[in-house]
Chains A and B, each alone.
Chain A
């Protein structure tokens, strides 16, 4: 079964501290993984995708096929990073549909 698990509902850190939001997936094929972010009162938007291997707003995520993980990391958290973060997996077939994890709320305290 295709599944995405984000084990932490809430992650609270202080400004300047490192951040790691965990994401594990279950998928039999070659996965396409994404991180989406929803800031307060804004629509859900793409943060990054594993295939691009890019860094957006200081965030990076590496696909680890051995551990079936796609954790999101940032070395120094900023207050403006406070938001809800969703990990998502592109399902099989050419439908483009995404399977989302439960979401993690990141709270960066001053």
Chain B
């Protein structure tokens, strides 16, 4: 099992460009999450999903959109990238509340 796989690993965008980050899990998990990691701020939740076809906003959702069309995939979109979105993005998944989250390796995004 690959676990949680994130693509791409690195990306550099210019301000205003768009992109999609893909998260795929092969553990049949219901719940999936997107976090961003910034120095001194820990991990902050962007959006999450508690099942196929559902999405919900987290702590810092502005400037991002998500989709969960298939159970195994959770996509994070940036429609018009801004330098404030320079960060490391982590996807995670779990069977449900109260159990361990399984994390991907992260995507390092730089917006210039």
Q: Number of contacting residues on A, CB 8 A?
A: 25
Interface code B49-68, partner A: CB below 8 Å = 1, 0 otherwise?
01000001011000000000
Within 8 A of A (CB), among B60-112: 90, 92, 94, 96-101, 103-106
Within 8 A of B (CB), among A1-60: 4, 6, 9, 32, 34, 36, 43-46, 49, 51
A97 an interface residue at 8 Å Cβ cutoff?
Answer: yes
B12 at the interface (CB under 8 A from A): no
Q: Are B50 and A43 in contact (CB under 8 A)?
A: no
* In the complex with contacts A43-B104, A49-B100, A97-B48, A102-B41 CB distance below 8 A: yes
Decide: B101 and A46 in contact? CB cutoff 8 A. Answer: yes
Q: Which of A45, A51, A100 contacts B43 (CB 8 A)?
A: A100
7 closest Cβ pairs, A-B complex: A96-B97, A100-B43, A44-B103, A46-B100, A100-B42, A102-B42, A96-B31
